[in-house]
């Protein structure tokens, strides 16, 4: 079991909080909100100040149930976020799949979820955690953790933007790492493993006045494959006539040191006429941003006094917009385990990580679907044509119902279509 070496005795003058959460994205805010609601003493740390920019704007309907549990559905219904009723796939030859509408698959019966601007959405979640009783400390970066023999831990924190030289301790019974792709604990413990089949990178930006659908198709996420399956684009309509457009491909194909992000993006756009056509009257509204090697997982989920949630544990790939849902779902599962741990005074790895098997099995379904998407022999239109009986199960997976039993039949149909067989 990976654990940090036992460290100096704790400063006994420090108060011991029940839980300290590092990172207040969707995973950290969810776990903090649910534990605070259960009456625990929770402190939520983030190195950023909110609102802050973040990639990942498209939700899937399975997130609705957790948002409802957090008491946020009315606020979302009243918000300016665009309603997302479906997802659609467009093949390299421009062939469009029938949209996968969420009508009968959304747990709340709304038939939609939302395309969100993450600066506002994440703020909503942090505010909710605060309202439910969590203490929020922004501009506060965790720099290291000491795990003590008395089973408490001390997180050492640094105030960002303040000229304070000294580190401040936060002592707690359970450390939750929700630091996203920074993988604060997994990196320090050497647990992070890149998925070698998904060495991808992304370049993305926002456009003003890009073409969008009408009626309930206005808010659809559309995934476009470029020619020869070399790259794909997301197309995510946002408020204020903005569309988020991102291009993802293998890092070897995508990045070229002699080209700027704009040049690479435009190179790929020229290979994807369906997107280029939608952008012909649009103007770029944000600088290009890039990221790479974002698909990985940690070999362990929990240890004595610590647990990982959201991207701090694993991330697959952006193609099915599963990240925010999985972050919140893992936050919810971890909250249940931590609550029991605190109630029974058992903060062992077994207790804090007792949701690993269930969670990993759900994530694995997304992973298999991601591998299929990147297989040049696979496309959704052909799959549905050959397996119309699997449309329902496939939609269940696309909306995020991956923890539901009985939806795996899809993979029997997908497997023979793949190059790898």
Ligand X SMILES: Cc1cc2nc3c(=O)[nH]c(=O)nc-3n(C[C@H](O)[C@H](O)[C@H](O)COP(=O)(O)OP(=O)(O)OC[C@H]3O[C@@H](n4cnc5c(N)ncnc54)[C@H](O)[C@@H]3O)c2cc1C
DSSP letter assigned to residue 96: B
Residue 120 in the binding site for ligand X (CB under 6 A): no
Min CB(232)–ligand X separation in Å: 11
Helices 26-37 and 118-131, packing angle to 10 deg: 20
Under the phi-then-psi rule, with left for phi > 0, alpha for psi from -120 to 50, and beta for the rest, what region is 151? left
Q: How far apart are CA 269 and CA 319, in angstroms?
A: 17
Is 65 or 390 the residue whose CB approaches ligand X more closely? 65
CA atoms within 13 A on the CB side of 114: 22
Shortest Cβ distance from residue 23 to ligand X (Å)? 3
Q: Is 113 in the site for ligand X (CB under 6 A)?
A: no
Beta-carbon contacts of residue 115 (< 8 Å; ≥ 6 apart): 57, 58, 59, 81, 82, 83, 84, 219, 221, 236, 237, 238, 244
> Shortest distance, CB of residue 362 to ligand X, whole angstroms?
14
Element (DSSP H or E) covering residue 402: none
Residues 137-176, one symbol each (x = binds ligand X by CB under 6 A, - = not), give: ----xx----------------------------------
CA 283 to chain centre: 28
Among 86, 304, 314, 321, binds ligand X (CB under 6 A): 321
Using rule CB under 6 A, residue 233 touches ligand X:
no
If binding is defined by CB under 6 A, does position 62 make contact with ligand X?
no
- Decide: is 61 part of the binding site for ligand X (CB under 6 A): no
Query: Rule CB under 6 A: which of 269-298 touch ligand X?
Result: 291, 294
Instruction: For ligand X, give the closer residue by CB, 202 or 351.
Output: 202
Contact in structure between 248 and 232 (CB atoms under 8 Å): yes
Q: Does 10 bind ligand X (CB under 6 A)?
A: no
Q: Which stretch binds ligand X (CB under 6 A): 18-26, 34-42, 91-99, 359-367?
A: 18-26
- Between 10 and 180, whose beta carbon lies closer to ligand X? 180
Please give the residues from 362 up to 421 whose contact with ligand X meets the rule CB under 6 A.
none
Residue 320 C-alpha from the chain's centroid: 10
**Structure tokens of 306?**
């610590």
Nearer to ligand X, 92 or 246 (CB): 246
Nearer to ligand X, 54 or 404 (CB): 54
Specify the residue, 97 or 321, whose C-beta has the smaller distance to ligand X.
Answer: 321
What is the DSSP secondary-structure string of 250-309? EHHHH--TTS-HHHHHHHHHTT-HHHHHHTTT-EE-S--EEEE---EEES-SEETTEEE-
Q: Is 278 exposed, middle or buried (0-12, 13-18, 19+ CB in 10 A)?
A: buried
Which tokens hold the place of 267? 């190179």
Q: Whose Cβ is closer to ligand X: residue 22's or residue 33's?
A: 22
Is there binding between residue 237 and ligand X (CB under 6 A)?
no
Binding interface with ligand X (CB under 6 A): 22-28, 45-48, 54-59, 141-142, 178-182, 184, 202, 246, 291, 294, 310-312, 315, 318, 321, 323-325, 327
């Amino acid at each position: 079991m990976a654990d940090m070496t036992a460290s100096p005795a704790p400063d006994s003058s420090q108060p011991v909080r029940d839980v300290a959460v590092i990172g207040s994205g969707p995973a950290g805010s969810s776990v903090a909100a649910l534990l605070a609601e259960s009456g625990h003493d929770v402190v939520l740390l983030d190195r950023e100040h909110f609102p802050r920019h973040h990639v990942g704007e498209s939700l899937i309907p399975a997130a609705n149930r957790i948002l409802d549990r957090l008491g946020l559905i009315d606020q979302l219904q009243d918000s300016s976020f665009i309603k997302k009723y479906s997802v659609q796939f467009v093949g390299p030859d421009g062939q469009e799949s029938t949209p996968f509408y969420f009508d009968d698959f959304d747990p709340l019966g709304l038939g939609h979820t939302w395309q969100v601007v993450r600066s506002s959405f994440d703020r909503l979640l942090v505010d909710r955690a605060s309202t439910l009783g969590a203490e929020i400390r922004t501009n506060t970066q965790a720099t290291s953790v000491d795990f003590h023999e008395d089973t408490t831990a001390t997180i050492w924190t640094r105030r960002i933007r303040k000229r304070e030289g000294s580190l401040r301790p936060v002592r707690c019974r359970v450390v939750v790492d929700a630091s996203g792709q920074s993988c604060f604990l997994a990196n320090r413990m050497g647990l992070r493993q890149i998925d070698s089949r998904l060495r991808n990178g992304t370049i993305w930006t926002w456009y003003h006045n890009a073409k969008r659908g009408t009626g309930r198709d206005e808010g659809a996420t559309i995934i476009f494959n470029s020619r020869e399956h070399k790259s794909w684009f997301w197309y995510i309509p946002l408020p204020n006539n903005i569309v988020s457009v991102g291009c993802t491909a293998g890092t070897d194909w995508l990045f070229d040191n002699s080209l700027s992000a704009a040049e690479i993006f435009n190179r790929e756009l020229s290979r994807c006429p369906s997107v280029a056509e939608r952008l012909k009257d649009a103007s770029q509204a944000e600088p290009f941003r890039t990221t790479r090697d974002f698909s990985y997982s940690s070999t362990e989920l929990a240890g004595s006094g610590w647990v990982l949630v959201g991207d701090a544990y694993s991330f697959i790939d952006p193609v099915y917009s599963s990240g925010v849902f999985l972050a919140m779902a893992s936050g919810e599962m971890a909250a249940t385990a931590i609550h029991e741990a605190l109630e029974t005074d058992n903060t062992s790895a077994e207790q804090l990580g007792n949701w690993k098997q269930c969670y990993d099995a759900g994530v694995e379904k997304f992973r298999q679907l991601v591998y299929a998407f990147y297989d040049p022999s696979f496309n959704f239109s052909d799959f549905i044509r050959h397996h119309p009986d699997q449309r329902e199960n496939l939609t269940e997976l696309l909306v995020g119902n991956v923890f539901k039993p009985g939806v795996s039949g899809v993979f029997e149909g997908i497997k023979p279509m793949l190059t790898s067989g």
